[in-house]
Amino acid sequence: MPEMMTGGQAITAALEALGVTCVFGVPSQQNLALYEALSHSQTIRVVGARNEAGAAHAADGYARATGKLGVAITSTGPGTTNAVTGLYEAGFASSPVLLITTQIDRVHLGRNRGFIHEAEGQLPMLQAVTRRAERPLHGHQLYDTILRMGRDIQSGRPQPGAIEVPTDMLGEMTAVERTPFTKAPPHVPGADAIAHVADLLNGASRPLLWLGGGCVRSGDAEAIRAFVDHFGAPVITTPNGRSALSTDHPLALGSAPHYPAFRALLDQADVVLAVGTRFQFVTSAYWTLPLGKNLIQIDVDGSMIGRNYPAAASLIGDAAATLNALRQTLPQQQPDPQFLALAQETRRAIDADSAQRAGPDHAQLCAIIDEVLPHDRNIVCDATMVGNTWATYRLPVRDFQGFTYSTSLAIGPALPLAIGAAVGSNRRTIAIHGDGGVMLNIGEMATAVETRAPLTLLVFNDHGYGILKTLQKQTGLTPFACDLHTPDFVGIGRAMGMAAERVTSPDEFRTAFERSVATEGPSLIEIDLTQIQALSL
């Protein structure tokens, strides 16, 4: 039976039907009717960001840490353009983020009269960074449009989506018939296809298992772990797939297949089973790794099969569901003991390589973080020197869906990503930032305080864009434009209302980090890199 409600209430009802319990956003003149409706919801928490980019990134972090739909709310024009970077990052990471934004009143659409926040090209802009972007023009379309979009962007390879709603529709009464939401079941390949791949794998004596972000997005930690144990092959993960398998698993080799030490093992492998990855540029050493022989690829998105390397065989299906079906068909494997021994040597070599790149001080910082943090945790890493040397490759990951990083290698998103992860999972979360990157979303420190997020913000301060300065030196360029005036981060943290302190050594860091982890809510630690041995890429 249809109900009469406002457009804002229709959107809220649709979000409730989708199972959404948290949204991130910035209120504005255009979306107040939506916020009014959300204020009466009994199930949806509204988290206020300080910038629309922060809202989109936080929704992304929430989605990655929980496996649920992330939702961001902005307004037309500048509010939406601010959010585009967050949608771009979510798309790169295959993260289901739904942006609900506004558009100017229908009577003014297409007239180019200079109406406040007019943005006629907003829809094609959103279409450029989402799988699906729509502009409904009738109130009765809102509920079904959001349910349809929520189902779409969470199906297959997750991607962001966006809906823009003319402001006048949010307060206008409309008839809505509530329909239940059912999420599409995970796709599993047919029995014949599964059997064919099982036959190929059953004949391998030196198999290698390569797990990507699709294994994390599948949301089934037990299915992934069960297949790893059944298959018995050494496991390499991409950075985006790091939290598919705990670092301390005996078959885990780490997340640095681009390190030279990995080549010998790859040369020995007689089959590589790659699951949920498209072999991005860093992971594949800019597509120079020899992966063209006997590659079997599993991906929920058929367009990813053979995109960067030819596959000898493939299965199109959800990572966890497909591995579960494959495990039931494939006899338990016993790889060549000499190959397994080589895998352990490779693991030790990769660990030694990463320790050398980090240097003793940074290796000690890494060990302290792992020791002090509970295993039930989130690690969120920005694109920074620390991330590119040890946080993304060396810092152990203990919990499923417990690692997030800037997949597009943009600087700046780690703080709001971490807020979303902390709010969504309620796990102790650390955000690893450089002093340059943290400035892009520094206002979100206020959001962290406001939400009482269990978050530790680590700011590694070398007074500049350290990674860019290193690249300039390595490539013979003139060091230029990468030295920065940095503020008093401790002072900013305290002004925002969080505990904050500065450290100059690993010993000082341990004491400060122990205090931070024991603190309810957010805190900040600034690490003065001028007092700590330098990193090397």
Query: pLDDT value at position 145?
Result: 97
pLDDT tens digit string along 272-289?
A: 999 999 998 888 888 999
pLDDT tens digit string along 57-102?
A: 999 999 999 999 999 999 999 999 999 999 999 999 999 999 999 9
Determine the 3-state secondary structure of 376 from DSSP.
Answer: coil
Choose among 260, 200, 199, 251: nearest CA to 226.
251
Residues of the chain below pLDDT 70: 292, 536-537
Query: pLDDT value at position 367?
Result: 97
pTM: 0.97
Query: Which CATH superfamily does the domain covering 3-176 fall into?
Result: Thiamin diphosphate (ThDP)-binding fold, Pyr/PP domains (3.40.50.970)
Tokens for 257? 């297949």
Query: pLDDT value at position 188?
Result: 96
Query: pLDDT value at position 340?
Result: 97
Query: pLDDT value at position 269?
Result: 95
The DSSP result for 451-481, as a single string, is HT--EEEEEEE-SB-HHHHHHHHHTTPPP-S
Q: Is domain 191-335 given the CATH code 3.90.480.10 in the classification?
A: no
Tokens for 488? 């008093």
Instruction: Give span(s): CATH 3.40.50.970, the chain.
Output: 3-176, 357-531
- The C-alpha atoms of residue 219 and residue 321 are separated, in whole angstroms, by 10
Instruction: Give span(s): CATH 3.40.50.1220, the chain.
Output: 191-335
Fold of 357-531: Rossmann fold (3.40.50)
- Counting every residue written for the chain, the total comes to 537
Query: pLDDT value at position 536?
Result: 67
The DSSP result for 32-60, as a single string, is HHHHHHHHT-SS-EEEE-SSHHHHHHHHH
Q: Degrees (nearest 5) of the Cα angle 424, 427, 430?
A: 100
Q: Degrees (nearest 5) of the Cα angle 458, 378, 392?
A: 70
Phi and psi dihedrals of 380, rounded to 5? -125, 125
Q: Is 472 exposed, middle or buried (0-12, 13-18, 19+ CB in 10 A)?
A: middle
End-to-end CA distance of the chain: 63
Q: Which element (helix H / strand E) includes 303?
A: none
Query: DSSP letter at 483?
Result: B
**105-to-30, 175, 275, 475, 508 alpha-carbon distances in Å:** 9, 20, 46, 52, 57
